[in-house]
A = this chain, B = another copy of it.
């Protein structure tokens, strides 16, 4: 029932807590740099009110609905759309009540913190959600959402967002980004180029995607050279809408540096649907090197999000479609997998490759040692399941000693849940303040260094790494 603690996530010992408070006081109000995420540009283009509390907080948030589902709540009852068109709950108040009744399941998870933070700071709700206050909280939030100061652009400004990147596929016409630009609104919402649909031979409709891709770019993308040209053309198009980065989601971190003929042959097989699993993987791996080469030309930062096995449950995929909480981490190798890419371009200090992982065992063993030597390589922040206080702490404890702070790139919220953006950045700033305070308290950095690093981690590194 209490408000969130003002000292949350700080060390418990009084002197380190005091220093963490001081550090956080200098970063708390810094503008938010959100260089990677999955919010919907349409929100900002149209600036329409968010529909209702359930559709703001429950239905789109896989962190929330997967945890309720794990205790037997059917996704239908939470209003999650069926891929097969089957019926789901449409009464948002009923969805909200169900959410409220199970809110205790989120205890100890970052969602508890994010939601409490959003309730408190965005909607002024001082109590935790429970069955008993479900209706009252619903009505209060719904009332807020109807007011102009809770529309997307107003919240964007209130959140102090300096720049927000969305992520679009290669076939996206960027209409919402165009509309945004034409609107004259001053908020900086940019896109990022995520070409998986035309890079991953295992994507649904890969060959058709490539054809459409060529059509958009005005080249024949079904030939290897044309395909590469289409990437160049679409990258330029995305860049025109502010993109400073590309993003790549692969099941492994495998990279390849094939000859032109080998690559073209794989591409041809992939288009014809006859690439083996091994060939598809090699093709994906080679495309990372191609993308890196293009980055050397156009300056886009390359992000690699590796190691998720998507859609673990075939029955649930058929019932609900993608991104429904059934993407699961895989053990991932980086040292051997990234070698072809790094041998090709890793020494280029004018290139930035940012690697993310879902396999924490690689932080100290592989990623920090790699980022600690290759000029082109940087470590993305703790990602997805690890975007949490313990996850962030482990990230710092397992990467700093080998890679330092300056091979990391600040924080990414990586979210679809708009109201969680300030909450997530707040968690990151607090955890970093706590970590730095502990380093000072244990004599591992000087006091003045801690203040400088706190600012770097909260603001400067993200801007620099993403060229924002």
Q: Please measure, in the bound complex, the distance between the C-alpha atom of A386 and the C-alpha atom of B368, giving whole angstroms.
A: 11
Picked from B315, B333, B359, the residue with its CB within 8 Å of the CB of A347 is B315
Q: Are B449 and A107 in contact, CB atoms less than 8 angstroms apart?
A: yes
Q: CB-CB < 8 A to A66: which residues of B?
A: 372-373
Type the 1/0 row for A404-444, where 1 means its CB is closer than 8 Å to any CB of B: 11110000000000000000000000000000001101111
Nearest-Cβ distance from residue A112 to partner chain B, whole angstroms: 7
Q: CB-CB < 8 A to A140: which residues of B?
A: none
Q: Are A313 and B407 in contact, CB atoms less than 8 angstroms apart?
A: no
Residue of B nearest to A448 (CB): B1
Q: Are B404 and A106 in contact, CB atoms less than 8 angstroms apart?
A: yes
Q: Which of A307-335 contact B (CB under 8 A)?
A: 309, 312-316, 325-326, 328-331, 333, 335
Q: Are B390 and A398 in contact, CB atoms less than 8 angstroms apart?
A: yes
Decide if A157 is an interface residue (CB 8 Å cutoff).
Answer: no
Nearest-Cβ distance from residue A105 to partner chain B, whole angstroms: 5
Q: Are B347 and A358 in contact, CB atoms less than 8 angstroms apart?
A: no
Q: Please measure, in the bound complex, the distance between the C-alpha atom of A163 and the C-alpha atom of B309, giving whole angstroms.
A: 40
Type the 1/0 row for A132-165, where 1 means its CB is closer than 8 Å to any CB of B: 0000000000000000000000000000000000
Nearest-Cβ distance from residue A424 to partner chain B, whole angstroms: 13
Nearest-Cβ distance from residue A76 to partner chain B, whole angstroms: 12
Q: Are B108 and A70 in contact, CB atoms less than 8 angstroms apart?
A: no
Question: Are A438 and B12 also in contact (CB < 8 A) when A71-B407, A107-B449, A349-B72 are?
Answer: yes
Q: Which of A82-90, A229-237, A338-346 contacts the other chain?
A: A338-346
Picked from B16, B314, B400, B447, the residue with its CB within 8 Å of the CB of A108 is B400
Q: Please measure, in the bound complex, the distance between the C-alpha atom of A70 and the C-alpha atom of B415, giving whole angstroms.
A: 30
Decide if A381 is an interface residue (CB 8 Å cutoff).
Answer: no
Q: Are A442 and B366 in contact, CB atoms less than 8 angstroms apart?
A: no
Residue of B nearest to A377 (CB): B70
Q: Which of A377-392 contact B (CB under 8 A)?
A: 377, 385-386, 388-391
Q: Please measure, in the bound complex, the distance between the C-alpha atom of A112 and the C-alpha atom of B9, giving whole angstroms.
A: 27
Question: Are A12 and B13 also in contact (CB < 8 A) when A328-B366, A364-B391, A404-B107 are?
Answer: yes
Q: Are A313 and B343 in contact, CB atoms less than 8 angstroms apart?
A: yes
Decide if A175 is an interface residue (CB 8 Å cutoff).
Answer: no
Residue of B nearest to A5 (CB): B443
Q: Please measure, in the bound complex, the distance between the C-alpha atom of A173 and the C-alpha atom of B405, giving whole angstroms.
A: 44
Residue of B nearest to A366 (CB): B329
Nearest-Cβ distance from residue A315 to partner chain B, whole angstroms: 6
Q: CB-CB < 8 A to A48: which residues of B?
A: none
Picked from B71, B313, B343, B361, the residue with its CB within 8 Å of the CB of A315 is B343
Q: Are A108 and B404 in contact, CB atoms less than 8 angstroms apart?
A: yes
Q: Are A364 and B360 in contact, CB atoms less than 8 angstroms apart?
A: yes
Picked from B8, B347, B438, B449, the residue with its CB within 8 Å of the CB of A443 is B8
Q: Please measure, in the bound complex, the distance between the C-alpha atom of A8 and the C-alpha atom of B373, giving whole angstroms.
A: 28
Q: Please measure, in the bound complex, the distance between the C-alpha atom of A129 and the C-alpha atom of B278, giving whole angstroms.
A: 51
Decide if A109 is an interface residue (CB 8 Å cutoff).
Answer: yes
Nearest-Cβ distance from residue A321 to partner chain B, whole angstroms: 15
Given contacts A8-B444, A312-B342, A364-B386, 19 further A-B contacts (CB under 8 A): A1-B448, A2-B446, A2-B447, A5-B442, A11-B12, A12-B442, A67-B404, A72-B375, A106-B404, A107-B453, A108-B401, A108-B444, A112-B444, A313-B343, A328-B366, A329-B335, A360-B361, A364-B385, A364-B391
**Chain A interface residues toward B at CB < 8 A:** 1-2, 4-5, 7-13, 15-16, 66-67, 69-72, 104-110, 112-113, 128, 309, 312-316, 325-326, 328-331, 333, 335-336, 339, 342-343, 346-347, 349, 358-361, 364-366, 368-375, 377, 385-386, 388-391, 397-398, 400-407, 438-439, 441-449, 452-453
